[in-house]
Amino acid sequence: MDREDGPVKVTGAAVYAADNHPDGLAHGYLLTSTIARGSILAMDTSLAEKAPGVIAIYTPFNPLELHPYAKEENAELTPPLQDTGVRYYGQAIGLVVAETFEQARDAAALVTTRYDAERPRASFADGLASATPPPNGTPVVDVLAPGVSSIDEALAAGDVTVTVTYTTPAETHVAMEPHATVAFWTGDQLTVYTASQGVRLVVDRLTETLAIGPERIRVINPYVGGGFGNKWGMWAHTPLTVAAARALDRPVKTVLTREQVFTVVGHRPVTAQTVSLGAARDGTLIAVKNDGVSGKSASNDFYEQVANLSLALYGSANLHVSRKVVTLDVPVTTIMRAPQESNGSFALDSAMDELAAELGMDPLDLRMKNDTAVHPASGLPWSSKHLAECYTLGAERFGWSRRSPRPGAVIDGDWLVGLGMGTATYGAGRGQASINVRLRADGRAVVSGTAADLGTGQSTVFALLAADALGIPVGRVVPVLGDSATPPAANAGGSGSTSTNGPAVRLAADAAKEAMVRLATEHEKSPFHGQEVAFSAGEVRAGGRGMPFGELLTLLGVPAVEATATSPRNPVKDHAFRSFGAHFCEVRVNRWTGEPRVTRWLCVVDAGTIVNARTARSQIVGGIVMGIGQALLEDLRIEPETGRFANATMADYLVPVNADIPHIDVEFLNYPDTLLSDLGARGIGEFGIVGAAAAVANAVHNATGRRIRDLPITLDKLL
């Protein structure tokens, strides 16, 4: 079905965080640092204070009261304005509040700041030689066959070995909706509208930094204009806005400018991976080694365990990954769509093609050869895996047999034409979620829980699953997401929304039906009183007679019956859960300019039950588009001298536009993963980006003979 929230979005009726304007609203504007490392000596706010409309100016010398956060490595470790330290360029160092946005912005321009500046650590390349063990997680994982003492010994036993280093630049999410927070207090009760991947995440962090109980905080955010991981952490503008609203006793709104969306919030760090693959002559992998290094902001602890995918994708008796970090004075490093696996797969799936070339094997055959029935590192069987079918079906549909094994062999006019492939994959899980279903006298069913729909189709999944369980048309289901006053469901992250919330929606619908049946049986005035009652197709039924639930409620004068049900965390421990698929793409590289263009794409997806093919397809396409951006365009440049992001605008930080993207074919296999849940749905939000950049790089190699190991693959690298 079409998205249930499509009409309100295209008509502008959907209220996003920044669209809220409670009476008496004042506007906040962030001041941000213009050095990357050091401390603030003084801030002169005297001119700004006299500027028209200014209500208050908060700085480290006049801070708002905020308490330390509990540790949460995806976001900043310290709340804003609590010290004079500067840890990155573009850090929030003040908040100007005025009667209008323009007044706040203009006054902010009048504030002058004196720094004691130090030279920032801003070069990942320079830091590589002195990379350190990570702040959390295990530095080294070895899985070795009996009798093998080291990964290098295992590699040495291979008939063919490749060792190659791949690097990926910093990237940023640039979701369409800038981050925004609107807050007001009613007595000691706080209401917050804020762009977030989960209202519960915001409640939790505000509880810490405001030192108040969660019962005093309500966070509302029904619509989100994209997140991709960047609306998981809570960023400086939110606690500042909330605390300013309390201090001023009036509502305050702060919307980040587009440039601030590059620095006040997190980004994906720079990474490097050195991959060694050892194989027998027939292509059987015998050793996979991946030494991964990730950039890490000095202001928090998130880094990419970029080598991890090597433990979970291709079978090998010997596996080794290591993790190191280079600490940089850059904005916060955080999760971004398929953290560690999207950039991780660029290295692993490029290396697989390099190995295939060494072996003289078709890259598809090499992957088929190393497909496994068990998780390579743990040895646990996969709950449900149909990767081989993805490969074969995809190859046939795409015309993989027409790929020339000789790079540079296919020329079409001005273009060199190449085919490439990669493996799409992402881990799956099912957490605990509670959902409420309320059957109303108007014949509608309200399905509510704290889930978020970032544009993913989650609210449509709620509508479909509830309608299906209740036997009513989807148009009569009202999904309510993004309100912390509703039961705690899954936040949108880790591709876990549908797998976690879906089963809970079904349970809650069943519980609501039971509540309706009880009412029909027990209510004195019910025409079904004392009878054997059933609920089917939206009706209460007994003795050959049926009545829609809305009619019965109306007859009885009862406004609604409701039930809340909780679906538990997946208890299965003896299987591993992961989605798999195959990317196939065609890339054309201009013979004279080196310009790469992706011209065809097919992705075959084994992600369990697909609840709604249309929105699911959109998720896969979105992941692939982002993967094409990662392959060809995205490159957040850190100036080594200043630590400043040099291209922190949407004009300079390139992401694909429609003209860059060909028609993308998506095929779903639709095998339910019944060990994960009765619903059998895994997750699809991050799946599509994994393997996509490697597929492009492999096609570029097939087209040109040039192996680009440093993303993005720009035309200068192909000349």
Catalytically annotated residues: 686
Secondary structure string (H, E, C) spanning 319-369:
EEEEEEEEEECCCCECCCCCCCHHHHHHHHHHHHHHHHHHHCCCHHHHHHH
Cα Dmax for the chain = 84
Instruction: Give the separation between CA 521 and CA 441, rounded to whole angstroms.
Output: 17
- The structure tokens listed for 421 are 């492939």
Site string for ligand MOS, 193-212 (x = CB under 6 A): ----x---------------
Q: Smallest gap, in angstroms, from Cβ of residue 224 to ligand MOS?
A: 11
According to DSSP, the residues that pair with 448 across neighbouring strands are 436, 480
Is 627 a binding residue for ligand MOS by CB under 6 A? The answer is: no
Closer CB to ligand MOS, residue 495 or residue 609?
Answer: 495
Rounded to whole angstroms, how far apart are CA atoms 424 and 692? 7
Is residue 121 within the footprint of ligand MOS (CB under 6 A)? no
Q: Which listed residue (104, 162, 220, 336) binds ligand MOS by CB under 6 A? A: 336
Q: Count interface residues toward ligand MOS (CB under 6 A).
A: 10
Nearer to ligand MOS, 74 or 103 (CB): 74
Q: To which residue do tokens 């009412």 refer?
A: 519
Tokens of 693: 């950049």
* Residue 362 in tokens: 């078709």
Report the residue closest to ligand MOS, judged by CB: 229
Residue from 162, 182, 286, 335 binding ligand MOS (CB under 6 A): 335
As beta bridge partners, residue 645 has 638
Residue of the chain from 94, 169, 363, 493 that contacts ligand MOS (CB under 6 A)? 493
Closest contact distance (angstroms) between CB of 425 and ligand MOS is 15
Task: Find, among 447, 547, 552, 572, the residue nearest to 501 by Cα.
Answer: 447
> CA-CA distance, 691 to 348, in Å (whole number)?
9
Looking at the Cβ atoms of 336 and 464, the one nearer to ligand MOS is 336
> Residue 286 or 626: which CB sits closer to ligand MOS?
626
DSSP 476: G
Residue type present at position 214:
P
Quickly list H helices, 370-457: 387-398
| CA atoms lying within 13 Å on the CB side of residue 505 | 34
What residues from 158 to 197 belong to the interface with ligand MOS (CB under 6 A)? Answer: 197
Cβ closest to ligand MOS, residue 80 vs residue 493: 493
Rounded to the nearest whole angstrom, what is the least distance from the CB of residue 455 to ligand MOS in the complex? 12
Residue 494 as a binder of ligand MOS (CB under 6 A): the answer is yes
Q: Which stretch binds ligand MOS (CB under 6 A): 2-10, 333-341, 434-442, 639-647?
A: 333-341
3-class secondary-structure state, position 575: coil
Q: Which of 337, 375, 438, 506 binds ligand MOS (CB under 6 A)?
A: 337
The 439-458 contact track toward ligand MOS, x by CB under 6 A, reads --------------------
- Residue 93 or 307: the one with the smaller Cβ distance to ligand MOS is 307
Site mask, ligand MOS, residues 216-235, x = CB under 6 A?
Answer: -----------x-x--x---
Helix/strand/coil percent split, the chain, to 5: 30, 30, 45
Residues that bind ligand MOS (CB under 6 A): 197, 227, 229, 232, 335-337, 339, 493-494
